[in-house]
Amino acid sequence: MPDQQHSSHPSQPNQPNQPNQPNQPGYGGPSGRPTHPGRPGRPGHPGGPHKPAAAQPVLRLEKLVRTHGSGATEVHALRGIDLAVHPGELVAVMGPSGSGKSTLLTLAGGLDTPTSGRVVVEGVDITTAGRRKLSALRRRSIGYVFQDYNLIPALTAAENVALPLELDGTSARKARTAALAALEEIGLRALADRFPDEMSGGQQQRVAIARALVGDRRLVLADEPTGALDSETGESVLALLRLRCDAGAAGILVTHEPRFAAWADRVVFLRDGSVVDETLRSHADSLLTGRAAGL
């Protein structure tokens, strides 16, 4: 399957030479992996043209700077980053370790405060928003996938996924229904009542992904979401993220893997806290491999 996805001759889905391509999104393929219908390109895989940026961006980073320490010990994690992510757009961020990728995500999600610059999410400047307003925005609009999962050990998989909804006032019954649907979507419905220490690392990561996607999240921030997953499951997770963005959300994906970055509309390359290159997905096949090797 992966070799077919990286073919240099895209074909339209549901053509006679693609008999296994389902007509509806979901786990319909022969391997149980989500397919990616509705976009021109390779079966089950994006590859079509970049979406026009007509709507106002869901996320806007303006001259974003983050430094740690001062004087001789000062470290520049980000150096004047400008980035906008629009509804329906998935942006992949690549770069070597220490280039500022994770810092960019924590600032974009309001988990840290920039040294200077602005972070605007759905028209709200979260760098100046009050604590209560920021907390509400994070619960309702932003989904996170962390490298270390950040699941609550005392809660089951379903309870972890339902928690953001319950904190925002959704009834326990409705929150559990939504959580079970999200777990079903990633193939973990059978583990809904297991605790994190009863699951493998890959299963915990998928629960964290379900938590990030549950509800009507307008911005999804994923920091190496496939790190603990095998290749096939990783592709399945990226297909779900892609479908969520196609439905109108905005997403940022941090990854070291060109094959996962290939699901994005746009790829941004960081080095030493600065954007050193940016390319649309339709032009990125050769650049992805070259940059990944050079970074």
pLDDT tens-digit series, residues 151-172: 999 999 999 999 999 999 999 9
The answer to whether position 24 is within a domain reads no
Q: What is the CATH number of the domain that holds 232?
A: 3.40.50.300
The answer to whether position 222 is within a domain reads yes
Domain of residue 66: give its range: 56-152+205-294
Task: Judge whether residue 54 has pLDDT over 80.
Answer: no
Task: Judge whether residue 6 has pLDDT over 80.
Answer: no
The answer to whether position 140 is within a domain reads yes
The answer to whether position 158 is within a domain reads no
Amino acid making up residue 200: S
**In the prediction, which pLDDT does 18 show?**
43
Whether the Cβ atoms of residue 54 and residue 63 lie closer than 8 Å to each other: no
Which range is least confidently modeled, 39-48, 175-184, 189-198? 39-48
The answer to whether position 4 is within a domain reads no
Task: Judge whether residue 197 has pLDDT over 80.
Answer: yes
Calculate the average pLDDT of the chain.
82
Task: Judge whether residue 292 has pLDDT over 90.
Answer: no
Number of domains in the chain: 1
Task: Judge whether residue 236 has pLDDT over 60.
Answer: yes
Tell me the mean pLDDT in the region 223-230: 86
Distance CA 183, CA 162 (A): 10
Whether the Cβ atoms of residue 232 and residue 198 lie closer than 8 Å to each other: no
The answer to whether position 185 is within a domain reads no
The answer to whether position 176 is within a domain reads no
Task: Judge whether residue 20 has pLDDT over 90.
Answer: no
**In the prediction, which pLDDT does 283 show?**
55
Whether the Cβ atoms of residue 295 and residue 96 lie closer than 8 Å to each other: yes
The answer to whether position 14 is within a domain reads no
Distance CA 22, CA 24 (A): 6
Cα four-point dihedral sign 97, 100, 101, 105? positive
Nearest-10 Cα torsion for 203, 208, 214, 216: -150
**Which residues 6+ apart lie within 8 Å of 21 measured at CB?**
13, 14, 15, 29, 35, 37, 43, 44
**In the prediction, which pLDDT does 188 show?**
95
Task: Judge whether residue 52 has pLDDT over 70.
Answer: no
